[in-house]
Structure 1
Amino acid sequence: MQKATIIIFIISFSLFISCKDKSDKVEKTSSKEVTNDTKQTESEIADSSTGLPAVYFIKSEKILATDQLRNYLKVELDSVEKVDFTGDKIPDYICKTTIDSLGNGTEYWVSSEFKTIKKTKLAYGFHYRWFINLDGDPEPEIFEGIGDEDGADYVITDQNLSTGKDITLLYVNPVIIENGKKYWGYPWDIKNIKARKNGDNIELFCSLNHQIIRDGNEETDPKSQKQMPVLFFTGHHTQEFSVENCKNEQWLTLKEIIKQTKR
């Protein structure tokens, strides 16, 4: 009887130690997960605008061509985008004609007052664009990704609504930040720009210290710039082109970036 009691005690004590060990492991694991979550949150906060309001792209909206537009332009339209590119808070229109048998097409930029601001030839390849106001002018600037399978240019363009002639302000390297990692910003992967409003200024999250080597065959080498700065974006990468050599990430206005990268 005494031996049986001792055996029962030993078994019970062993079960108690085992359960306590498992409990300790679960507690340590849980603590580790909380620590990782905290670090992730801290990283996200550190990557934010430190309380300053974010600024986003002004995105266009595809619409059906209205009879008023067709009657005004008197051409066969393939597509129409609605976006306020004049900065008067009223939507304007970007109209693309149907491509002809020679592969030619035209793009008309029509204001809300039905005035043609500019008329451009449609280029071969891809052309992505987003609008964002980066200076004191009422009309927004344009961030564009233009190219084909051989290479692409990524530029910030200033509009001149009086002449209809746009001016390229800056060539850049687009980089997406996703889950703390950096990837090359193909235009179809970009969702938005990392920008913020600081007082009266719009600042862009950027890096002027990097070692990115462009591998396209038809990219422009801007003579007015000593380097192409990195601009950071949000989005989802579809290709494993990681970027790991961006240093001294900082918030600068477009004017400051142009000044520091000017040749």
Structure 2
Amino acid sequence: MKTFKKMTALFSFLGAINITHSALAAETPASEQPDYSETQWRTFYGEKPVDYRPEFWVTYYGSEEQEACYVPDAVSLANGSPIRKKIYKEFIAEETDNNKHYVIRYPNKFKLNGCVYSSGGGRFYMEEKSDDPRLNQEPYTKKTQIDRFSLIRGGDIVTVSLIGDHRLDDFNRGKTYVNKPNYNIFCYKYNFEDSLSKNEKTMVFKFINCFSSSLENGIRKIFVANSYISYTIDFWKQHPDINLNFRLSNKIYCYINDECKKANLPKLERGFWKNQNSEELYQKGDN
């Protein structure tokens, strides 16, 4: 159960998903359509595996300066301060070139019901495409539900965050990528066996783990699931298009000796991404 608990923790922080990938305009009455007239439209694009589709998950927060952006008659239990409104949105990639490339386009901000909502980044996620009808039923409709990965393979990619321009020097000296406009990302497939409870039979859960590593100005930068890539506010405004290319492993790996032997899968050492060159794997694969 240790492995299962770790994987549960990996996804549980995302919480329940209540808003689907439908357009915001379709989620509000005709008289309350979002106003995009002052927004900056942003784009992620690149190569991807044909059988997988990336997504970008964004939480928009209402402006601190506008009264219409606060939840009426509600305060935080932690400190008693007013609670700002927020809207969660999933942007599903559009596919091109026989599903070999993708584009995700989303608004940086918009106005709705007198409130200006804006985002400070978001989270990348990617999963295997499937027509399995069970994926649209409980409990599989929630993409953070651990059960979902008994049906299809998927996983977190990376979180995109914004930082103040004054922090650029500190980030340049650290391991976190900052202001990088393009990435070659290698994703490896792995399985593990576990049960959801003591009374249930063992199941095979299927995941991907994606990472990128490279030398930037003599400093080794790296990201993996639950990591961040960061952009300063000024760079983010000046570079609305970010290129993220994904390449998927040909092999399926596992972590536990007994499971590897049973399934005849190659064993992968934990922390595999720490000692690998993602650019080389992206170019040559893991044959």
The verdict on a shared fold, with TM-score over 0.5 as the criterion, is no
TM-score using structure 1 length:
0.30
Greater RCO between the two (CA within 8 Å, min separation 6)?
2
Write 1 or 2 for the structure with the bigger share of strand: 2
